[in-house]
Structure 1
Amino acid sequence: MNKDAEAINQFLAWLQEPDPAVTRPSGKNSSPVSDLEESGAVDLQVHTIDPLDSEVEALQSLPFESSAVFIEDTSSLELGELPAVQDRFHALIKRRLRAEIEQNPPLFPWETSLWDYETEQSAVADSLSAPLWTTQLQALNLPVPVPQAVLLQIFAECRNVIQSSLREGAKLVRIVESLFPDQSQALNEMAGLVLTASPSRSGATIPASALPESYEVANPTQQMLFSLLAARQMLDAMTLEVSLDCPQAERQWLTAAGTLSLVAEYEPASASLSVKGQLPCAGQLSLRGTTQQALAVCAEAGALKVELGNVHPDQTCALEVELDAADQSALVFTVRLTEEV
């Protein structure tokens, strides 16, 4: 420490000494111009060099402990009329401290090593936003595989129109029209063909020899057909239809948490409509009619039942299923009671 202080004192004393290179000659006949000419080439940058610049490299080469000692020593120096030197040294010290902190960031008391908290938060956010309801889309029976992005768009539109009062053909057109703008007439004609096909055989309505290799290479008409078939299968999976002749309907929906099973049943004698659900995890069922609503909640995987009374034919109820496996909106099913199937 004494050695460092002595070196700094010598340096400050040197700064106060007159520069012999700029001292006026004592001879009467001496000329500064002639002296410069006789001395040959002159280094014009001598007076522009800041002596403290050399201290930057010396200071950066010191370990962090030496820098701390240096801070303590400079506080006891008598700098006299040299405030600029003091400010410069303070700037060098701050630069050194900043470099040390950037190279060796400090840790919180509970940390033993550096943590990338932003990455960790992103991973948590990704896990929460993982698709909960879209697992079912992989089970669709389609002639050719349809890209996931297309299926997701169709599924989103299905959720928008599932509770609407549109006829089935109009629903199908509404679902896929964003994929085929300005093609309303062709979509309406194609939707009529799709509705006449049996849902269980929708994947076999086209001969294998006429199928394209993939959805991407299919022509626009084929893409319309594949999209409408996917939309119809999604709507069918989201609809439970019961009647006086067929009072029970079942549906299963594959989720990221497991299989969701639903059974809707109508009792003509009591005019009651009930839905039993087997949930793969904690969640709730909500059955909503025109003027009434029933709700059931479970804290873990298990069976739930909701029931409404005074339900008559040609009435439609909304069944909402919420699962606690992820922070996502409920999946809405339609329970439709008709005179006959």
Structure 2
Amino acid sequence: MPTVQERFQAVIKRRLQIEIQNHPPLFPWESQLVEYPEFVEESSVALVPAWGWLAQQSKLNLPVALPDNIFQQLMEKCQLLLTSSLPLGPKLIQAVESFFPEDYQSINDVAGLVLRTAYRSVDALETMPNLQKDYSDLQPRQQMALSLMAAKQLLENLTLQISLANPVIEQQWQTNAGTLIIRVELQSLGRLLKLRVHSELPTAAVLKLQGNGNQTTAASEDADKVSLELDCPPTNQNYTLAVEFPGLEQQPLLLAINLTV
């Protein structure tokens, strides 16, 4: 009997091997046999970090979220337009016109509505007929309105208006590493003014404050509080603050600081 059992097991094992060779089993995610490479180059499996400023969209007052790629492009366009001397209306049109290249007149019309006081609330968009909760399901005019509203809020959030009558202003920006807090103070020192920027950083960062031909830089190798300041004449001037997170995002966040005496 032991000899018969061993022979039987050998036959079964051989038949199973032949069956597996002829019809290899599939992984749960496979519908057919797939040949995999013996190794994968390291560059092809490197993780691509998420865009660092994507989390800020959650702080915008929008009834429907923008797709990540559109929000990123919109943010980049607003950054480029931030220091332009154009009025807000043309800035909004330039920020979104590449999304709707064949509908310039419609963009112009909707931008006019967005700039009106009664249209600043998201309620105006929510009352549009057949409003869906996904950007791709919106009508072109609704997509325009949503994009223009987002651009307007971004430009407003990226611009800090400060004056002797309103000498302190604070702004928060959400990043994938946590919350960035920027606090700007204006102090009068006789014939000169001093512009101070205090920051609370969620991760290592480099800050650069510049304007009126001067600039100053500060850096931190970890999450920390960092401050920097500039002496400035008592005249209306525009300054910029660039916040770069080397370990999070290559594109720095640019804030405009508009000083009004």
Settle same-fold status: TM greater than 0.5. yes
Identify the residue that residue 222 of structure 1 maps to in structure 2: 142
Map 1:3-152 → 2, pairs under 5 A: 116=39, 118=41, 120-127=42-49, 130-152=50-72
Greater RCO between the two (CA within 8 Å, min separation 6)? 2
Rate the CA distance shift 1:320–1:151 in 2: closer, same or farther, 3 A.
same
- Deviations along 1:165-204, whole A, 9 cap, x unmatched? 21111111110010111433332332232223489x6333
SS of 1:259's equivalent? strand
Q: Which of 75, 94, 115 is residue 174 of structure 1 equivalent to?
A: 94
Paired residues in the alignment total 222
Identify the residue that residue 202 of structure 1 maps to in structure 2: 121
Shift of 1:280: 0.7
Deviates more, 1:137-146 or 1:229-238: 137-146
Q: Which of 281, 293, 296 is residue 218 of structure 2 equivalent to?
A: 296
Q: Which runs of 5+ in 2 are unaligned?
A: 1-37
Give the fraction of aligned pairs with identical amino acids, expressed as a percent. Answer: 36
Native 8 Å contact 1:273 1:311 kept in 2: no
1 or 2, which has the higher strand percentage? 2
Report the RMSD for the aligned CA atoms in angstroms.
2.4
Native 8 Å contact 1:285 1:319 kept in 2: yes
The higher radius of gyration belongs to: 1
- Deviations along 1:67-87, whole A, 9 cap, x unmatched? xxxxxxxxxxxxxxxxxxxxx
TM-score by length of 1: 0.60
Native 8 Å contact 1:264 1:273 kept in 2: yes
Q: Which runs of 5+ in 1 are unaligned?
A: 1-114
**In structure 2, what is the Cα distance between the partners aligned to 1:161 and 1:211?**
33
1 or 2, which has the higher helix percentage? 1
**In structure 2, what is the Cα distance between the partners aligned to 1:198 and 1:326?**
38
Shift of 1:296: 0.8
Rate the CA distance shift 1:311–1:121 in 2: closer, same or farther, 3 A.
farther
Map 1:133-282 → 2, pairs under 5 A: 133-197=53-117, 202-208=121-127, 210=129, 212-213=131-132, 214-269=134-189, 270-282=192-204
TM-score by length of 2: 0.76
Rate the CA distance shift 1:285–1:171 in 2: closer, same or farther, 3 A.
same
Residue 151 of structure 2 aligns with an amino acid whose one-letter code is A
